[in-house]
Amino acid sequence: MNVATALTPDWASLRLALEAMASAGNAEIHEGGEWLAELNSFRWEIRQEGKNPLLHLWSDECNYTRRLLAVKEQTADRIVLEVQRFGRAKPGRLEVVRPASPRVPVRIAREQFRLSLRRILAEAFPDAEIQPLTVVADLKHSFSSVYVRGAVVEKKRGWAVLAVRPGESAAVVKDALTFGVLWLHWVRSHTSHYAVEGLRLILPEGTSGPLLERTLGLAPAARTEIFELREADRRLQKMEPGEAGNIDSWLITRGEMESLLNEARAAISRNHALALHMPPAGNEITARVAPGGLEVALSFRGLEFGRWSREDFLFGLDGERVKLTDSNHAALDRVMLQLDLYRSPLAEDTKHRLYRAAPERWIETLILADATRLDAQLDPKHVYSQVLALANDRGVLDLLGVTRRGRLVVMELKASENVQTPLQAVDYWLRIRRHQLGGFSAQRVFQRGDAATGTADALARRTRSALSSGHRHPAEAPVA
C-alpha cells in the first residue's frame, strides 16, 4: 500500500524507490547508524503536511513516522534520508536498506532487546544519560553480537553496561563477566570526559548466582554491580554477592585417594599390556580418582582409555567402552599398541586423532611427572590432578599444588588461547580457598605424615584473619 497526496516533484523519485523496495519484500530500518527494525512485507505512505511531508513506514510488527527533510542517497538497495523525529529539534539520519539475506530470528531478538534495554535503563536510572547501545560484533576487541554493550553517565560518573538477553544459553550467561570486564576496560580507555566507576552487568532473572560468586575474586578496580532483569515487570533488581549462596564443590580426601589408587594399581598391574606402561616399568599411564571418588580413570599421556572400579574395568577409545574379560585381553593389547604408536612425542603423524586429542591433559602429565619444570618453587610431592569437583556444572580443577614455602597454587591448563581462562582460574581458586578456610587437615591433602597435624588449620586461621580485614583479591594463600 502506498499513498502520495499533493506531493511536490522533489519527492517523486523517492516514491518510486520506496515502491520498488516494498515490492521486493523485506527491508531494514537503521536510524542514527543503529539497527532499528526489520519490516516484513512492509508498507509505506508519504503524506504532505505543512512545509515538509511525513513518511510513514509500517508492517504487522511495528510502524515508524518521521518528517522528511531531504534525500541524501538513493539506490536500488539503499535509501538514506534526513528526517526529523517528533519531539526532537535536531535532524537525524534514517536508512531503508534491502538486506542481502534475511536476518536469523535470534539476531532480530537481540536487536529488539537492545531497543527495550534503553527504556529499562532510563527507568532504573532516571538521572542518568543513556549512551548509545550496540550489539555489533567487534572481533578485534573480542566483542561478539551476543551481548548488548553501552554506558550510562550520572553526574560525570559513568558505568560501562553489558547485558544478556533473556532466553540466551547458560554458556552465554556464564561467560558474561569476562566480556563485561573487557568492555569495562574498553570504555575506560576510550573515555576522557567522565570517570568510569565500574561495570553494571545485567542478567536474566535467576541466573546471577555463579557470577556473583566470581565477582569476589575481582580486583577493586573492576568494581562490578550485577542486576537481574525481572520478567514480570521488566525492571532491574540489584543483586548482592551474599545472595550467591553456596556453589557445592568437594575435595577427595588424601586417605581415600591413596587407598583407591593403590587398590587400582594392584589390580591393573596384573595385566601385561598395562604393566609395561605403568611405573616402575614406564611412565606413560597415569591414574587419578574420577569425580565422585568411586572410580579410577586411566590415561595414556593424558588421554583417558579406561575406568577401573571395584566391580569391573572398562576400556576403549573414542567414547566406546567394553568390559575387560578373560576373552578380550587381545583387544586391550591393540588399544595400547595404538596409543603407543600414535600418542608419542616421537610420532611422525602429528595430525592423527590420538596425537591431537586432549592436549591439556598431555601437558598435565608432564607437570605431574616433574612440577619443577613449570616452577622451581613447586613441591613435586604434592601436586594433585583434578581433586576439586564442582556439583553444578561438573567443572574439574586441572592441578592443585603447593610451593615449598607452603602456598597454594591453582593450575588451569590450556593448549590454546582462551579468553575465559583467567576467570575460570579465579572460579576454581575461590572454591579451593573455601576448602582451605574450612581446614585442609580434615582431607589430609597436603600433610606429610603425622608430624604435620594441625599446621594446615593454623595457617588457614591466619588466612581468615587476612580476609576479614578486607583483602578480597584471590592471591595465593598459605597452607601446610
> Mean per-residue pLDDT for 454-472?
37
Q: Where are the alpha helices (DSSP H) in 69-226?
A: 105-124, 170-174, 176-189, 209-215
B/e letters for 76-108, b = 16+ CB within 10 Å, e = fewer, are eebbbbebbbeeeeeeeebbbbbeeeeeeeeeb
Confidence of residue 342 (pLDDT cuts 50, 70, 90): very high
pLDDT digits (tens, 9 = 90+) for 216-248: 888 888 999 999 999 888 899 999 876 554 555
Phi first, then psi: give them for residue 335, nearest 5 degrees.
-60, -45
| Residue whose C-alpha cell is 502520495 | 4
CB 286 within 8 A of CB 249: no
Express as a percent the part of the chain with pLDDT over 70. Answer: 82
Distance, in Å, from the CA atom of 63 to the CA atom of 82, rounded to the nearest integer, reads: 18
pTM confidence score:
0.66
Residue of 365 and 435 predicted with greater confidence: 365
pLDDT averaged over the chain? 80
CB-CB neighbours of 50 under 10 Å: 7
pLDDT digits (tens, 9 = 90+) for 185-224: 999 999 888 899 999 999 999 999 889 888 888 888 899 9
Q: Which pLDDT belongs to residue 347?
A: 92
Confidence of residue 322 (pLDDT cuts 50, 70, 90): very high
The closest alpha carbon to 213, from 433, 11, 439, belongs to 433
Q: Which pLDDT belongs to residue 475?
A: 38
Res 389 pLDDT > 60: no
Q: Which pLDDT belongs to residue 249?
A: 59
> Mean per-residue pLDDT for 10-16?
81
Confidence of residue 346 (pLDDT cuts 50, 70, 90): very high
pLDDT digits (tens, 9 = 90+) for 131-186: 988 888 787 888 888 999 999 998 889 999 999 999 999 999 999 999 999 999 99
Express as a percent the part of the chain with pLDDT over 90. Answer: 30
Q: Which pLDDT belongs to residue 456?
A: 38
Q: Which pLDDT belongs to residue 2?
A: 46
pLDDT digits (tens, 9 = 90+) for 68-88: 988 888 888 888 899 988 877
Res 357 pLDDT > 90: yes
Distance, in Å, from the CA atom of 278 to the CA atom of 287, rounded to the nearest integer, reads: 9
